[in-house]
Every structure is written in structure tokens, then in C-alpha cells.
Amino acid sequence: MNALTWEQRERVIALLDAASGDPGIRAVVVTATGKGFCAGADLRSGSATGERVAGDVARMIRLGAQRLITAVLDCEKPVIAAVNGTAAGIGAHLALACDLVIASDTARFIEVFVRRGLVPDGAGAYLLPRLIGPQKAKELMFFGDAVPAAEAARLGLVNKVVPADALEAAAREWAERLAQGPTRALALTKQLVNASLDADRTTALAAEATAQEVNMTTADANEGVASFMERRTPKYLGR
């Protein structure tokens, strides 16, 4: 069920970081194989011997689950989650941190922490209220019930639900559309939307103006304006 190990987490973080810095990469898809997308953290691999020192758990969460979610949120390319099965705990938060979420009709999302007597981590209490509001977020986190894909779409956790055998094609279609877009403009748009959830109006509008100023220095912005004036389809190069 793809329980997340330390090695897997570090590899995903490294790949997302590499995607940000590689102009040849213009969209990212996060998906999995088998019956599950990610069943949560692999608790067995995290068992440690010896005395636990105050601060150890907070440090582990900060450098582990939170780094993973932050890597998705801060990736400078649009990130699509293609959720092929159960997404539980940090697996659910990994999917929900992505910019767009396509789910198989067999997918489920589970805030599993309460079932283990744990507090949600991996930015769950940050992400979920911003997607569906605080009261519905509390319901999912308090009870830990599985949310089927269709219900997740109704709540606003998922952009689109497709048959299981169409998931890869649907994710590829969206990724290819994004890869043909103005990559830097998309990155700046992503930053603006994410930051706006925590900013006041004055700060948000100032950030918007600055982003547009930066974006107007890109080749794609010039191409977009020129193609409009020349009444032709733009050809964006991601630069």
C-alpha cells in the first residue's frame, strides 16, 4: 500500500527540488502503483531504540513529513496528484498539497491519525480547512472515516474522478497541457494563490503586482502578448 519510508520521502523531495531547477521539466505528476496511493508513514521503519529526548518528535515531524509537504507546495512547477487508491494520513496530505488532484473511482482519502491516537501532522490541519472549511475538516479528522473519491470531489478535495483504467491517461493529458503553458507564469500564479490564503488584501495585491512585474521579463509573457496582437496561437517555451 506504499507506506512512506524515509528513503522514499527523501527521493520524492529531491525529485521535486530537481524539477524546480530544471527548465526542461514543465509539469510533475505524483502517483503510485498497486492498490494504494500511500497508506501513510511506515511506522515500523521509524521505530527507534534508546531514550527519547524532549523535542525529538517535533524535530522528526519538521524535518520529515512537513518537509515533504513543503516540497510539493514550493515546487516551481505545477504538480498533479494521480491518486490510484487509498490515500491515508501523510499519503492524503501528499495528494492534497498538489496543485491539482485526479482520483481513480476506487480511491479513498482517510485522516487516519485519530485511529492511532495521534494528532494530524504533515500539514493536515493547515491544508484541510483551506480546502473544505474548518468544520468539515474537523469532522474528517475527529472520526477518521474513509472518504470515497466521488464524495471527495463533492467536498472539493479532488478536481476530477475518472475510472481506474483511465487515470494515467487523464493525468498525462493535464500534464501535457500544463507543459505547453507559460511555465514561469504558472509558478508565480501558484505562489500567489498559496500565499493569498495567509495574507491580508494589501499584502496579496502587492505580491500580485510584483509577480506580474517579474513575469513580464519572461520570453513567454512577450510571446503571449505578441501572439494575441498577431492573432495566432502562442508557442510557450517555459522561459
For 166-173, the CB contacts below 8 A with 24+ separation are: 167/31, 167/82, 167/84, 167/102, 167/103, 167/104, 168/31, 168/82, 170/82, 170/102, 171/29, 171/31, 171/80, 171/82, 171/102, 172/29
Band of residue 51 on the pLDDT scale cut at 50, 70, 90: confident
Question: Whole-number mean pLDDT of the chain?
Answer: 96
**What confidence score (pLDDT) does residue 74 get?**
98
Mean pLDDT of 49-74: 92
Segment 167-175 mean pLDDT: 98
pLDDT in tens, 109-164: 999 999 999 999 999 999 999 999 999 999 999 999 999 999 999 999 999 999 99
pLDDT value of residue 52: 82
Q: How far apart are CA 84 and CA 76, in angstroms?
A: 24
User: Residue 44: what pLDDT?
Assistant: 76
Among the listed residues 133, 70, 156, 143, the one whose alpha carbon sits nearest the alpha carbon of residue 113: 143
Residue 47 clears pLDDT 80, i.e. is over it? no
Name the band, by pLDDT with cuts 50, 70 and 90, for residue 2.
Answer: very high
CB proximity list for 37: less than 8 A, separation 6 or greater: 2, 31, 81, 83, 84, 85, 86, 87, 91, 95, 107
Q: In angstroms, rounded to a whole number, what is the distance separating the alpha carbons of residues 163 and 166?
A: 5
pLDDT value at 49 more than 70: no
Of 114, 17, 27, nearest to 124 by C-alpha is 114
- Rounded Cα–Cα distance for residues 107 and 75 (Å): 25
What length is written for the chain? 239
